[in-house]
Amino acid sequence: MEEAKILQPSKSESDDFKHGELRQIVLSSLGLSILLGGTFLVTPNFPIVFASVAGLIKELTEKKPPRAKVRRVLKNLEKRELISLAEKNGEVYVSLKSGFTPIILKYSLKPLLEFKKRKKKWNGKWFMVFFDVPLKQNNKRNHLRNFLKYIGFYPYQQSVYIYPYECEKEIELVKKIVEGGKYLSYVIAEKIEDDKLVKTYFGLN
């Protein structure tokens, strides 16, 4: 009975998450927690306290997550062997079972890079990613383009993407985990031509 009380959401908890949205947000929050707490090392066993995951969901979505639903999502992810759950001293700890997957990394890097945009002052440099994927691997090239655009990079040229803040660690993870990532090269530029559109895109004017 006591456990049932813990799992019941209060009336003040928001229940307006779309179908499948909470699962995506939980994976994003878990990945982001590990990136921040694990100092960017891919550490699947780095444990995250359940309360921290719930708190980060609230910060990312500006909604108070229904704790019972978050727990159910975590249980389902555990059944699918994506995460591990353990209880110690009354706290529930969550960790990735087999490290990052491309989808977890994608969802996690987007809010992390958006945080940099909000908090960092631009130093005038451009952080660029080049890739030269073989023509016969067109699907990998398209996947990389879509991935980089999703997490916040600007498509400067077909195979050149730009971000205005330091992101070397993030790109190192992309290289290790995303299909086709081995073809990425990271470059820092002091100046680029025709930067007006890029500055407007990132709100740097």
pLDDT band, very low/low/confident/very high, at 19 (cuts 50, 70, 90): low
pLDDT band, very low/low/confident/very high, at 40 (cuts 50, 70, 90): low
DSSP symbol at 131: E
Q: Which residue has the tokens 């016969």?
A: 136
User: Tens digits of per-residue pLDDT, 138-175?
Assistant: 999 999 999 999 999 999 998 999 999 999 989 998 99
Q: Domains in the chain, start-ordered, CATH in brackets?
A: 2-96 (1.10.10.10), 113-202 (3.30.70.240)
Both tokens of residue 137? 């691997």
Q: Would you say residue 18 has pLDDT above 80?
A: no
- Between CA 52 and CA 57 the distance in angstroms is 9
Listed range (2-11, 23-32, 142-151) with the worst mean pLDDT: 2-11
- Give pTM, 2 decimals: 0.77
- Between CA 164 and CA 181 the distance in angstroms is 20
Report DSSP letters for 38-107, one per residue. TTT---TT--EEHHHHHHHHHHHHSS---HHHHHHHHHHHHHTTSEEEEEETTEEEEEESS---HHHHHH
User: Tens digits of per-residue pLDDT, 105-114?
Assistant: 888 899 889 9
Both tokens of residue 164? 């205005």
- Between CA 33 and CA 30 the distance in angstroms is 5
Give the helix/strand (H/E) hosting 173: helix 168-177
Asked if 112 and 71 touch (Cβ cutoff 8 Å), the reply is no
Listed range (44-58, 70-84, 98-112) with the worst mean pLDDT: 44-58
What is the Rg, in whole angstroms, of the alpha carbon atoms belonging to the chain? 19
